[in-house]
Amino acid sequence: MRTDEIPGYIIGSVHETERLAHIKTLQASLPALQYVEAVYPAYERVPFLSALKNTSLERTGHALSDGELGCLLSHRSVWRKILTADVDEDQLFLILESDSAFANLALLKTKFQTVADQYDLFFWGAWEGHMKLHRSTRKQLAEGFDIGEPYLKSVYCTYGYSVNKKAAALLLKATRRVAYPVDQFKYFMNIETLRIGGVHPELIVTNGREKSYIQTNRNRFKEFFVWLVLDVRNSIVCYFK
């Protein structure tokens, strides 16, 4: 596989007009990326929308918002495409969102196949850089970059990850019963059934942490202190794993 032939999908929407140019830039960087139109409850009819929200409320105590539900349905549509793709079972697909950005495209290209040979589900970026790796599993990917098994409680966000058919099938099964947002992997991933990995620091980031269409009331000051506490706690946990 040539380094510019990384297969994958980018989820976007015609309603996010300010991101369309950025999506074209991402596709120019990796021409094999296929565009997938996002599910947008604010602009289209989603069958049983109210029932799905009520179900998530009953199961978790939190009703999924329109944005969270749309994100879940969008990623499920990508996983279904991967399952029907005419490729080897171990072929890894890159999945991006409209606000994803490459922090190190050259390294992503040169190391993608190395990662594909080792993992079923891999996070190129997660939780805006706060994902932690188990110390016992860390190994060098390149100078300044390590890969290893992530601490699932530190894995959030879906702006840059990869799955193969095995992982796509498991994710579809795990999210079949609507409950949690798609990026809260700790609630539905079984570490024993998949080879799960991540890289630190991130190779894929969010594009300038621009306005989120899902998180509309972010408090950066509060987040700083919450992240500080969680980073310390998660670092201690991972040191002993």
- Tens of pLDDT along 149-204? 999 889 888 999 999 999 999 999 989 888 889 988 888 776 568 999 999 999 99
Q: How far apart are CA 104 and CA 127, in angstroms?
A: 17
The answer to whether the CB of 149 falls within 8 A of the CB of 117 is no
Distances (CA, A) of 160 to 75, 121, 216, 220: 12, 11, 20, 22
- How confident is the prediction for the chain on average, in pLDDT? 90
> What share of the chain in percent tops pLDDT 70?
92
Q: Indicate if the pLDDT at residue 62 is higher than 70.
A: yes
Specify the pLDDT at position 207.
Answer: 82
Question: What is the set of domains in the chain, with CATH numbers?
Answer: 8-239 (3.90.550)
Residue 196 structure tokens: 């799960």
* Full-model pTM: 0.91
Which band of pLDDT confidence, cut at 50, 70 and 90, is reported for residue 232? confident
Helices (H), 98-219: 105-116, 165-174
Q: What is the pLDDT of residues 11-48, one digit of tens each?
A: 999 999 999 999 999 999 999 999 999 999 989 999 88
Write the DSSP assignment of the chain as a string of letters: --TT---EEEEE-TT-GGGHHHHHHHHHHSTTEEEEEPP-TTTS--TTHHHHHHHHHHHHSSPPPHHHHHHHHHHHHHHHHHHHSSS-TT--EEEEETTEEES-HHHHHHHHHHHHTT-SEEESS-GGGT--B-GGG-EEEETTEEEE-B-GGG----SEEEE-HHHHHHHHHHTSS--S-TT-GGGT--TTTS-EEEEES-SEEESTT---SS--S--HHHHHHHHHHHHHHHHHHHHT-
